[in-house]
Amino acid sequence: MRFVYKLSTLLMVLTMGVAVLAESDRSKAKDKDKDQAPVDPIAEHIFYSEAKLVENMHKFRPLVETYIQNMKPDKELGSVPESDKYFLGRLILNEKGISRKNFDEHDRPNLMSRVLDRLNSFYKMNYLPLGFMQLIFLNDRFDKDNYDLKYLRQQFLGDVRTLVFDVVPKKHVKGPHFLGRIWVEDQEYNIVRLNGTYEPRVRLNTFFHFDSWRINMQPGLWLPAYVYTEESDVQYAFGRTLNMKGQTRLWGYDLKHSGIQTEFTNVQVDSVKDNADSSGTGNNEIVPVQSEHKWEREAEDNVLDRMERAGILAPDGEVSKVLQTVVNNLVITNNLNIEPEVRCRVLLTTPLESFTVGHTIVISRGLLDVLPDEASLAMVLSHELGHIALGHRLNTKYAFSDRMIFPDEEVFRQIGLKENEAEEAEADTKALEFLQKSPYKDKLASAGLFLRALDGHSHQLSWLINPHFGNRMAKGSSHLRMAALQQSAPELEARNINQLPALPLGSRIKLDPWDDRVEMQKSKPVALLSVRDKMLFEVTPMFPNLVRFNGKPDEVATKQGNK
């Protein structure tokens, strides 16, 4: 129990600033100790809460996804992505410290880029997944012996009133230490945001600058959810400058989804009900075609259930309904009669992809984020609907339960959903047919523009377009999904602020890191100041709207000026 601090030890000595925040119940003490440095228990609380968080993290095994873009300068756009990198794993914290379990890596885009990767690694920055996990809490020496906390001010982050401190290591501290700022909520003194870096920074062994956020997921429990990383002027080798930005997201905290439970858990009861006989025969006898459909639906439900338990598929919810509405528009205008009905789900990961599991269409969070409008969403859905209408089937081997018993980290390898090239082409053709008869037929220019932009970025963003399950939407310049739409689309105009072929990552979907539910962002679109704001497919900083678990906003203190 490394974290248990002896509360009986002397209280932390803080700088003068702390006296200001302590106005309420500590004001008397302040007056009395005016001449000496004031003694305040708040720092002690903060050190204690942070240690408790680290201890609490032993109980959880969240998924950690990091996506990095290396940037290069661009005259018009400021900077643009030059290459990218991606990791997905599970964070494991135990007695030995922090470690990770990687999800199986799938094949890189092509042999060429793998060769390039090798060559590049001689002079390029190598990113270590573990390094990104160390940016979510402060190391075990974060205590009063090693750090001073210098109080700056109060500040609201979202609904939550916080106290802001600079964290400064004491003179005697050697080895890697945090230097930066923390925001601490003022009820239990949990750190809700930390921003800074580790020092000393030495060549070839760089600690990134990071901005790390926590969310109040359960009463009294603030857990790491987002980390933004950025470097723009680090010299590292052969005179090269590192210019990168990265997003790390954590989710899957709820123990139900953490893989700790037995693999035999069966949650199919609800979904099987959907398959209730609708033939109108009035009895439960089913004819062979129906039993084949029922068998296929079982395989489908098995796969979806297993993905959900592995923490990579969002539970059915609000976003599914939005997608369903667009699918219905296509189904109705094309007089399709698909039994059992088409369903939609969201894959929680960033790489851009869509695929079908039987009659369920799955779209990744990353793809939903960057799609510019409903017509381009309809374009993605219509391709998948094409597969379904053409009877491209899920392998029914997944109807056998033993196929679903494997460690979570193998999910990409164990479940195969790729279609062959011929089926891809057929689905494209079918999709165009559907779109031409749909309410989206006059709005397809934006879908074509999206594809153009995707095509244009596919060389640089090879990890972003590298799917976990589905088929690639773009393959360098040799192949692009729904290529016909691209041909009829207008030219890309990087300088035109009104042309938005794709959005930055994180634009639409909000993910609840506790229970994996997703919802649409409520914020309204923002007017762009310049073409530099377009940031197609790019990583941006993250500012979660902090709220307390009980949903009640903290009150703004009336006495003193607050920010």
- Ramachandran area for residue 116 (φ above 0: left; ψ -120 to 50: alpha; else beta): alpha
Minimum Å gap between C-beta 423 and Zn ion is 7
- Of 152, 155, 156, 154, residue with least CA distance to 167: 152
8 A C-beta contact, residue 341 and residue 457: no
- Which of these segments, 43-51, 313-321, 406-414, 422-430, binds Zn ion (CB under 5 A)? 422-430
Label the pairing between strands 360-364 and 343-347. parallel
Phi, psi angles (nearest 5°) of residue 190? -85, 140
Q: Given the complex with Zn ion, which of 424 and 512 has the nearer CB atom?
A: 424
Q: Given the complex with Zn ion, which of 305 and 419 has the nearer CB atom?
A: 419
Q: Is 267 exposed, middle or buried (0-12, 13-18, 19+ CB in 10 A)?
A: exposed
Minimum Å gap between C-beta 106 and Zn ion is 17
Q: Given the complex with Zn ion, which of 159 and 423 has the nearer CB atom?
A: 423
Per-residue binding letters, 427-446, with Zn ion (x by CB under 5 A): x-------------------
Minimum Å gap between C-beta 383 and Zn ion is 6
Query: Which tokens in the block code for residue 326?
Result: 């667009």
Q: Given the complex with Zn ion, which of 259 and 386 has the nearer CB atom?
A: 386
CB atoms within 10 A of CB 273: 8
Minimum Å gap between C-beta 419 and Zn ion is 5
Name which of residues 391 to 420 contact Zn ion (CB under 5 A): 419
Q: Given the complex with Zn ion, which of 422 and 526 has the nearer CB atom?
A: 422
Q: Given the complex with Zn ion, which of 328 and 420 has the nearer CB atom?
A: 420
Minimum Å gap between C-beta 304 and Zn ion is 18
Q: Given the complex with Zn ion, which of 427 and 449 has the nearer CB atom?
A: 427
Cα 242 from Cα 69, distance rounded (Å): 11
Query: Which tokens in the block code for residue 8?
Result: 């009986």
Minimum Å gap between C-beta 331 and Zn ion is 18
CB atoms within 10 A of CB 453: 23
Binding-site size for Zn ion (CB under 5 A) equals 4
- Of 85, 94, 89, residue with least CA distance to 63: 89
Minimum Å gap between C-beta 447 and Zn ion is 16
Minimum Å gap between C-beta 381 and Zn ion is 11
Cα 497 from Cα 421, distance rounded (Å): 37
- Of 34, 42, 26, residue with least CA distance to 165: 42
Residues ≥6 apart with Cβ < 8 Å to 209: 196, 197, 229, 230, 231
Minimum Å gap between C-beta 417 and Zn ion is 9
Q: Given the complex with Zn ion, which of 20 and 484 has the nearer CB atom?
A: 484
Amino acid symbol at 114: R
CB atoms within 10 A of CB 179: 16
Bridge partners, residue 249, by sequence = 65, 226
Q: Given the complex with Zn ion, which of 14 and 357 has the nearer CB atom?
A: 357
Name which of residues 235 to 294 contact Zn ion (CB under 5 A): none
Minimum Å gap between C-beta 412 and Zn ion is 17
Length of the chain counted residue by residue: 563
Amino acid symbol at 52: K
Label the pairing between strands 354-357 and 63-74. unpaired
Name which of residues 343 to 382 contact Zn ion (CB under 5 A): none
Name which of residues 462 to 481 contact Zn ion (CB under 5 A): 471
Q: How distant, in Å, are the alpha carbons of 67, 81, 176, 448 from that of 131?
A: 13, 22, 13, 39
Cα 459 from Cα 465, distance rounded (Å): 9
Q: Given the complex with Zn ion, which of 212 and 471 has the nearer CB atom?
A: 471
- Which of these segments, 46-54, 122-130, 423-431, 443-451, binds Zn ion (CB under 5 A)? 423-431
Minimum Å gap between C-beta 357 and Zn ion is 12
8 A C-beta contact, residue 380 and residue 363: yes
Binding site for Zn ion (CB under 5 A): 419, 424, 427, 471
